Homo-oligomer: A and B are copies of this chain.
Amino acid sequence: MLPSWVDGPAKSAIVEFVSAVTTPGGRGFVAPEDRVAVFDNDGTLWCEKPAYIQLDFLVRRLAEQAAADPELAAQTPYRAAAGGDLAWFGDAVTKHYNGDDTDLKTLAAAIFSAYQGLTVEEHAQRVAAFFTDAQHPSLGRAYTDCGYAPMIELLRFLEGNGFTNYIASGGGRDFMRPVTQRMYGIPPERVIGSSVGLDFTDGQLRTSNRPEFLDDGPVKPVRIWGRVGRRPIFAAGNSNGDIAMLDYTRGGAAPSMALLVAHDDAEREFAYATGAEEALERAAAQGWTLASMRDDWSRVFP
């Protein structure tokens, strides 16, 4: 079991936890219906560097909108998208952290109106088409092969032990759904994520330009309860945005486990801790299990 995990503390902790909650009559036994596991996606199940995969999808859409409308093409962020100036998008976020929200607000407006009017089915078709041929910019593999092999094995291991796996991601719910079954064995009804509001008109659900959920930080536990109606007993994340979900999972009466993926493998993936500083501190202070990509995984990608 878990062949891509190195024998060591992370793998042992997983195996021992699963053994404890599945041993009938044991003190840590948890009924199968309460074996709920939640996984962040970006940086936890699939690669999030050099940029979120969804940003690639978005930039292509903005370029498409620019190509169809010369007036838009002259404006940010459409001009940046059409010109392949991906740095603009990164800079918008950096500026935001430095107290200048101008570009991020412009970007947000573009994001929320990017799919306006499309039915949910049309949107799903676009996502599926994107994943048919889009490649990671540096890893030399399709995005659909950028899921972490050890985490996919973990999903199967939990499932084989009566767990039900959910994704709880800050990424777009309807961006992930078309590929989660194929990549992770997780069907659309178990994908929780951020969303743009939908309108029901003429028998169809159409994308609006209103934000609905940003499924990050303390919103994650709220959305997990809203969707599942049970407190998870296993949670995996990789960033500060996952702390609340990990806390929630660890705060119940049943035995529970929190797993934090550490991106410390510059050779096989990327090495970074920006945005995970507090999560890494909390892992050390509160006994969350750390999965070091470098030390705990014998391979990273399938």
A146 to B: closest C-beta gap in Å: 22
Contact segment of A12-20, A96-104, A224-232: A224-232
Chain B residue nearest to A201 in the complex (CB): B218
CB <8 Å contact, A188 and B228: yes
Query: CB distance A203 to B120 under 8 Å?
Result: no
Contact A221 to B250, CB < 8 A, known contacts A188-B230, A195-B226, A227-B227: no
A172 contacts partner chain B, Cβ-Cβ < 8 Å: no
- A188 partner residues in chain B, CB cutoff 8 A: 228-230
Given A189-B228, A230-B189; A204-B33 close (CB under 8 Å): no
Given contacts A203-B247, A247-B203, contact A120 B225 (CB under 8 A): yes
Q: Are A251 and B189 in contact (CB under 8 A)?
A: no
Q: A199 CB to closest chain B CB, in angstroms? A: 8
- Report how far A212 CA is from B204 CA in the complex, Å: 23
Report whether B227 and A198 are in contact in the complex, using a CB–CB cutoff of 8 Å: no
Number of interface residues of A (CB under 8 A): 35
Which residue of B198, B226, B250 contacts A225 across the interface (Cβ within 8 Å)? B198
Given contacts A189-B227, A191-B229, A229-B189, contact A221 B247 (CB under 8 A): no
CB < 8 Å neighbour of A244 from B200, B222, B228: B200
A-side residues, CB < 8 A to B, are 33, 120-121, 164, 173-174, 177, 187-189, 191, 195, 197-200, 203-205, 212, 218, 221-222, 225-231, 244, 247-248, 250-251
Pairs A–B under 8 Å by Cβ, sample size 6: A188-B229, A200-B218, A200-B244, A200-B248, A204-B251, A205-B225
Not counting A173-B229, A200-B222, A203-B247, a sample of 8 additional A-B residue pairs whose C-beta atoms are within 8 angstroms of each other reads A33-B187, A164-B189, A198-B225, A200-B218, A200-B221, A205-B222, A205-B225, A212-B226
